[in-house]
């Protein structure tokens, strides 16, 4: 799994933001003194049963207790997280509407589809990196498969065809599915879902041969063939990586919190401090780790840096693989 972020130069809009947040000598507004005075909403774009939903509800529960106001989780599914992003981008920048996003809508989808109707740099401010889960290649256990190569052999034995599900356009699961199909030269039917739960129902029921979801407890019901992390993960020590299985597919589904641009910096600081403290507690780390999620935390600038690094990495992969919005 990915280690805690390194410090480094953060280009563009996020650099300005990081400088503002770090400038402790500047006068601060009184906005955060009165905030929050009514309920806060965390908006996410993926279905119940997904890791992002699991993490959102844990974060919301702790924020409610820390801030003394209800923190609600609202799901706005569509476009692999794009619908939720568009909704929060238009919300008042007052700290009461937060976006919980992931690497898919924040980084990958805009690289694949230039018609995406939100601009992360111009319309959002990063608050905190919550953590990361590996994607897993999971198959119907009734097939008796033990490895990615077994899945390839199964596809070759069935007319060179496979069906693999993922959590929507522009997600790491979709990219992993497309890359796996290209590497194996199989005719892969890439099937888009609005979340891990519905996809796993079809994997376990035999409608799909396999899936590429971000790991969560529901995926344990299937045959876990490999993880997409750079190294084996502590909570799945017997599951090999895709790379050691012969397929150079490496990445994780990170999740972070954002607010609309213009949100007062003292509110961003207060949100960051509350969530960072939650993520660093031993009981939190144990709770998330047992579910297959690596909590991180850190500053807004570190989340901005992660975004820039992932853009550079995946832009090259997407360009070389010629992946576009029409790819499934």
Instruction: Kindly tell me if the per-residue pLDDT of 320 is higher than 90.
Output: no
Q: Determine, yes or no, domain membership for 328.
A: no
- Helix or strand run (H / E) with residue 20: helix 13-22
CA distance 327 to 237: 33
Cα R_g (the chain), whole angstroms: 20
Averaged confidence pLDDT in the chain: 88
73 and 184 within one domain: no
What average pLDDT does range 186-192 have in this prediction? 93
pLDDT classification of 263: cutoffs 50, 70, 90? very high
Q: Determine, yes or no, domain membership for 297.
A: yes
pLDDT classification of 79: cutoffs 50, 70, 90? confident
**What CA–CA distances, in Å, run from 78 to 11, 23, 75, 81, 87?**
30, 38, 10, 6, 11
pLDDT given at position 325: 72
pLDDT given at position 3: 43
pLDDT given at position 43: 98
283 Cβ partners below 8 Å, 6+ apart? none
Q: Determine, yes or no, domain membership for 82.
A: yes
Q: Is the dihedral of CA 276, 281, 282, 283 positive or negative?
A: negative
260 and 113 within one domain: yes
172 and 85 within one domain: no
CATH of residue 219: 3.40.190.10
Quote the tokens at residue 124. Answer: 């959002």
pLDDT tens by residue, 202-251: 999 999 999 999 888 778 888 999 999 989 988 889 999 999 999 999 98
pLDDT tens by residue, 98-145: 999 999 999 999 998 888 888 999 999 999 999 999 999 999 999 999
Q: Determine, yes or no, domain membership for 3.
A: no
Tell me how many domains the chain contains.
2
Instruction: Kindly tell me if the per-residue pLDDT of 46 is higher than 50.
Output: yes
pLDDT given at position 328: 59
pLDDT classification of 1: cutoffs 50, 70, 90? very low
Boundary residue ending a domain (192, 227, 262): 227
Q: Determine, yes or no, domain membership for 240.
A: no
What average pLDDT does range 73-82 have in this prediction? 88
Residue by residue, DSSP assigns 308-324 as HHHHHHHHHHHHHTT--
Contact by Cβ (8 Å): 50, 80:
no
259 and 270 within one domain: yes
Instruction: Kindly tell me if the per-residue pLDDT of 33 is higher than 80.
Output: no
58 is in which domain, residue-wise?
A: 13-22+29-133+253-320
pLDDT given at position 152: 97
189 and 80 within one domain: no
Contact by Cβ (8 Å): 140, 203:
yes
Q: How many residues does the chain have?
A: 328
38 and 114 within one domain: yes
pLDDT given at position 15: 47
What average pLDDT does range 142-162 have in this prediction? 96
Boundary residue ending a domain (192, 210, 227): 227
Q: Determine, yes or no, domain membership for 264.
A: yes
183 and 48 within one domain: no
Q: Determine, yes or no, domain membership for 221.
A: yes
CATH of residue 313: 3.40.190.150
pLDDT given at position 327: 64
Quote the tokens at residue 19. Answer: 């400088």
Q: Determine, yes or no, domain membership for 5.
A: no
Distance from the first to the final alpha carbon of the chain: 27
Instruction: Kindly tell me if the per-residue pLDDT of 14 is higher than 80.
Output: no
274 and 221 within one domain: no
Instruction: Kindly tell me if the per-residue pLDDT of 326 is higher than 70.
Output: no
285 Cβ partners below 8 Å, 6+ apart? 279, 295
pLDDT classification of 27: cutoffs 50, 70, 90? very low
219 and 76 within one domain: no
267 and 206 within one domain: no
pLDDT given at position 50: 80
Instruction: Kindly tell me if the per-residue pLDDT of 259 is higher than 90.
Output: yes
120 and 37 within one domain: yes
162 and 127 within one domain: no
- CA 296 distance to own-chain centroid: 13
Residues 156-162: contacts with CB under 8 Å, at least 24 apart: 156/186, 159/187, 160/186, 160/187, 161/186, 161/187, 161/188, 161/189, 162/186, 162/187, 162/188, 162/189, 162/209, 162/210
pLDDT given at position 13: 53
pLDDT classification of 168: cutoffs 50, 70, 90? confident
Instruction: Kindly tell me if the per-residue pLDDT of 88 is higher than 90.
Output: yes
Residue 102: closest CA among 124, 85, 123: 85
CA distance 214 to 135: 4
pLDDT given at position 80: 77
**What CA–CA distances, in Å, run from 289 to 207, 236, 303?**
30, 11, 20
CA distance 52 to 100: 8
Instruction: Kindly tell me if the per-residue pLDDT of 2 is higher than 70.
Output: no
């Amino acid at each position: 799994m990915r280690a805690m972020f390194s410090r480094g130069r953060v280009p563009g809009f996020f650099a300005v933001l990081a400088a503002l947040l770090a400038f402790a000598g500047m006068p601060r507004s009184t906005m955060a003194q009165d905030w929050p005075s009514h309920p806060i909403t965390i908006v996410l774009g993926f279905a119940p049963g997904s890791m992002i939903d699991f993490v959102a509800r844990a974060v919301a529960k702790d924020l409610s207790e820390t801030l003394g106001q209800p923190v609600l989780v609202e799901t706005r599914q569509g476009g692999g997280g794009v619908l939720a992003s568009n909704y929060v981008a238009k919300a008042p920048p007052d700290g009461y509407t937060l976006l919980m996003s992931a690497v898919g809508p924040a980084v990958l989808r805009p690289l694949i589809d230039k018609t995406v109707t939100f601009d992360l740099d111009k319309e959002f401010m990063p608050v905190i990196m919550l953590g990361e889960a590996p994607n897993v290649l999971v198959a119907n256990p009734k097939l008796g498969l033990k490895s990615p190569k077994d899945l390839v052999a199964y596809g070759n034995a069935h007319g060179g065809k496979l069906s693999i599900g993922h959590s929507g356009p522009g997600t790491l699961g979709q990219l992993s599915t497309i890359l796996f199909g290209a590497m194996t030269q199989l005719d892969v039917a890439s099937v888009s879902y609005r979340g891990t739960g519905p996809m796993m129902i079809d994997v376990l029921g035999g409608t799909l041969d396999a899936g590429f979801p971000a790991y969560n407890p529901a995926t344990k019901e299937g045959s876990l063939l490999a993880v997409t992390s750079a190294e084996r993960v502590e909570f799945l020590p017997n599951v090999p990586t895709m790379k050691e299985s012969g397929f150079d597919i490496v990445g994780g589904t990170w999740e972070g919190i954002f607010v609309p641009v213009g949100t007062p910096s003292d509110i961003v600081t207060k949100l960051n401090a509350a969530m960072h403290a939650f993520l660093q507690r031993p009981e939190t780390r144990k709770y998330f780790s047992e579910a297959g999620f690596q909590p991180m935390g850190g500053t807004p600038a570190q989340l901005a840096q992660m975004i820039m690094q992932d853009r550079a990495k995946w832009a090259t992969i997407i360009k070389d693989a010629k992946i576009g919005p029409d790819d499934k």
